[in-house]
Amino acid sequence: MTYIALEEAFSIPGPDAGTPPWARNTHRTRPDVMKDWARRLADFTAYRLPEMDEHGVDIQVLSLTVPGIQAYTDVAEAVSNATAANDYLAEAIANEPDRFRGFAALPMQDPKAAIAELRRCVTELGFVGALVNDHTNGSYLDEPAYEDFWTELETLDVPLYIHPSIIAADQWHVMEGHPELRGSMWSFGVTVAGHVLRLLFGGVFDRHPNATLIVGHMGELLPFHGSRMDSRYLVQESLWPLKRMPSEYLGSNILITTSGVTSPAVLEGAVLALGADGIMFSIDYPYESTASAVRGFEAARLSDADREKIAHLNARRILKL
* Distance, CA of 13 to CA of 41 (rounded, Å): 9
In the set 58, 110, 134, 284, the catalytic residue is 284
Report helix angle 48-55 to 290-299, nearest 10: 20
Three-state SS for 98?
coil
Ranges of H-type helices in 132-257 = 147-156, 187-201, 204-207, 216-220, 226-235
Asked if 61 contacts 128 with a C-beta cutoff of 8 angstroms, the reply is yes
Asked if 173 contacts 200 with a C-beta cutoff of 8 angstroms, the reply is no
Contacts of 40 (CB under 8 A, 6+ apart): 47, 48, 285, 286
* Distance, CA of 68 to CA of 166 (rounded, Å): 10
* Catalytic residue status for 32: no
**DSSP string for 7-56:** EEEE---SSSTTS-GGGSS-S---HHHHHHHHHHHT-SSSSHHHHHHHHT
> What is the DSSP secondary structure assignment for residue 102, as one 8-state letter?
E
Helix, strand, coil shares of the chain, percent, nearest 5, are: 50, 15, 35
Residues annotated catalytic, as ranges: 284
